[in-house]
Amino acid sequence: MNILIIEDEARIARRLQRMTAEFFGNRPIQITICDSLQRGLDQITRQLPDLLLLDLNLNGDNGFEVLEQMVAASFHTIIVSANTDKAITAFAYGVLDFVPKPFDKERFFQALNRFISPTLKSDDGMKYLAVKKSGQIRLISISEIRYIKGAGIYTELHLKNGKQELHDKSLELLQQLLPDGFERIHKSYLVNLQEAEKILINPGSRYGLQIKNGEILPIGRSKYKEIKNKVI
């Protein structure tokens, strides 16, 4: 596992490194520390991390530049910053968690637990997903998403207005970010259950979920009972 820390204060960077190593114990990890925005961006270009620990104030540079350039990148980001007024904006950019400085081990470990446990959700409640298109960043309201379809290493956001947007994060990563109203009904589908109308049972024990626009999405056999209890 490759973990990148972008933090300009050496003391805090070393503390993050020490706590991260303690949390993962004997699991094989590689931790890289960059003390400036540009070094961090260069490192990400060379090697995409699995997890980014990011400060927002980097010697006067704005850590949000990392999020703007890597807005839908295929890794998770945990913000560790004293700029708590930026938390809402950070979650709009799809960060996994926002750990305010000063922080203790318990709070930091809570954020790392979210990284390794897809079922743990943030109390802050994500309201938007950010996508980058034609060099512009667009915030898409979570409430506007009907369902999300896996497309290889990418995902397709299917919106209520009939349009689609491509997102760089996998279904697994988005499942960690999205609120509880989104349910994994199949290996390739995450659905906003507010859009669900009824479950269809087809010959051969094949199941489908009809949503409000009339589309029918497949339900995995192992998911049928769970989805049935939530839809009916």
Residue 91 contacts by C-beta under 8 Å, 6 or more apart in sequence? 98, 122, 124, 126, 127, 128
Joined together, the tokens standing for residue 22 give: 């303690």
Please state at what angle helix 105-116 crosses helix 10-24, rounded to 10 degrees.
50
Residue 225 contacts by C-beta under 8 Å, 6 or more apart in sequence? none
CA dihedral 120, 125, 127, 128 (to 10 degrees): -40
Amino acid at 197: E
Q: What percent of the chain has pLDDT over 70?
A: 94
- All CATH 2.40.50.1020 domain ranges of the chain, comma separated, are 128-231
Please give the average per-residue pLDDT across 127-138, as a whole number: 74
The rounded mean pLDDT for the chain is 86
The predicted structure's pLDDT at residue 22 = 96
Please list, residue by residue across 63-93, b when 16 or more beta carbons sit within 10 angstroms of its beta carbon and e when fewer do.
Answer: bbebbeebbbbebbbbbbbebeebbebbbbb
Please give the average per-residue pLDDT across 79-97, as a whole number: 82
Place of tokens 């938390």: 87
pTM for the predicted model, two decimal places: 0.70
CATH topology of domain 2-116: Rossmann fold (3.40.50)
For 132-164, the DSSP string reads: EETTEEEEEEGGGEEEEEEETTEEEEEETTS-E
- All CATH 3.40.50.2300 domain ranges of the chain, comma separated, are 2-116
The predicted structure's pLDDT at residue 72 = 59
CB 207 within 8 A of CB 201: yes
109 has pLDDT over 90: yes
Tens digits of per-residue pLDDT, 53-67? 999 988 888 887 887
Q: What is the assigned CATH class of domain 128-231?
A: mainly beta
Amino acid at 74: S
Could you give the CA distance from residue 87 to residue 119 in angstroms, rounded to a whole number? 21
123 has pLDDT over 70: no
The answer to whether the peptide bond before residue 49 is cis (omega within 30 degrees of 0) is no
